[in-house]
Amino acid sequence: MNFQQNVSLKKYNTFGIDVIAQKFCAFSSVAMLEECLSISNPALILGGGSNILFTQNVQGLVLHNTIKGIQLVAEDEDYYYIKAAAGENWHQFVLHCIANEYAGIENLSLIPGNVGASPMQNIGAYGVEIKDVFHQLEAFHINDKVIIQFNASDCEFGYRESIFKSKYRNQFIILNVTYKLRKQPVYAVSYGAIEQELQKMQVQQLSIKAISAAVIAIRSSKLPNPNDIGNAGSFFKNPVVTTQLYETIKAKHANVVAYAAGNAHYKLAAGWLIEQAGWKGYRAGDAGCHAQQALVLVNYGTASGNQILALSETIIQDVYNKFGVLLQREVNIM
């Protein structure tokens, strides 16, 4: 067991915030997890650290999930069922599926983080969400010390939400996820700039590999690499508003970016709102709003978590004052 005390978490979070974990234990198997839990129940379960903003040191035990493994566990006439361990890097898992012609998650290329976070956050991009390809997962109940299986309905998926962020928050540790991936691709290219990028790449025959390449090109052009500039990707959720509020905004801003969200609602692009409010490219010390994508808050070097949090609060208030839209954070605050 790799048990340590007073460990810096700077390299374990993509914002690069330097806070201290009072106790730290990495585990690569269920047996090691049980041994770690014999010390104490965890204050935090840490995977890729790609969706968290630390604002203070962590008092108690931080568990770091490094369980690895990818396997084809079943198939039928239409689908492959691929089980991936929670500690696998998400993008590398996507590339593995593309190489083996398992279709369905190519639109989710280059999303930072690990497999275990994918159902917890119901990650999504370019018209695809995890709920669309999810089959089941196994999770370890921290108090009862048992492994429980969850199907899609059990997870109660919502927009960047699941039961593991609400009712079962801090009660389970996700061990592995099984995805239901297509043998015959159903291409999703109408969302965002994928079609334009494919044309730019002069793609003659559509494939999951081509779509992945297009998504990677788009994300690379807009989003900062966490290895170069600390960030957690999209900091805010795209807000869903009533048709009445959407029409009010559209009357003043004809170029508002929005998508019909059903039941007399529209989903607005949070990045557009933030940019229109004048925050794109803003910087105060080492805390800033990225110059290429206003949805991304960044740490240019030595910003504290509290400085980035304060910036997010100011942006939320300003957007609300200007548009009447209350933004919600996608990133978890610790």
286 class by beta-carbon count within 10 Å (0-12 exposed, 13-18 middle, 19+ buried): middle
At position 18, the amino acid (one-letter code) is: D
How is domain 70-182 classified at the CATH fold level?
3.30.465
Look up 197 and say whether it is catalytic: no
Q: Which of 118, 162, 234, 312 is catalytic?
A: 234
Query: How many angstroms separate the CA atoms of 254 and 264, rounded?
Result: 19
Query: How many angstroms separate the CA atoms of 172 and 166, rounded?
Result: 12
Look up 330 and say whether it is catalytic: yes
Average pLDDT over residues 213-217: 95
The CATH number that domain 230-333 falls under is 3.90.78.10
Q: Which residue has the higher pLDDT, 181 or 43?
A: 181
Of the ranges 29-43, 111-125, 184-198, 299-313, the best mean pLDDT one: 299-313
Average pLDDT over residues 64-78: 96
The share of the chain scoring above pLDDT 90, in percent, equals 84
DSSP letter assigned to residue 15:
T
Domain residue spans of the chain: 2-65, 70-182, 230-333
Tell me the average pLDDT of the chain. 94
**CATH architecture, domain defined by 2-65:** 2-Layer Sandwich (3.30)
pLDDT reading at 169 higher than 70: yes
pLDDT of amino acid 223 = 87
Stated pTM of the model: 0.86
Predicted confidence (pLDDT) per residue in 217-269, tens digit: 999 988 898 889 999 989 999 999 999 999 999 999 999 999 888 888 999 99
Average pLDDT over residues 117-131: 93
Q: Helix 90-99 crosses helix 208-222 at what angle (to 10 degrees)?
A: 150
How does residue 1 score in pLDDT terms, banded at 50, 70 and 90? low
6-12 long-range CB contacts below 8 Å, 24 or more apart? 7/62, 9/46, 9/49, 9/54, 9/58, 9/62, 12/46, 12/49, 12/64
Q: Which of 160, 212, 304, 312 is catalytic?
A: 160
Look up 166 and say whether it is catalytic: no
Average pLDDT over residues 1-13: 91
Average pLDDT over residues 184-207: 90
Cβ proximity of 126 and 107 under 8 Å: yes
Q: Which of 129, 138, 197, 330 is catalytic?
A: 330
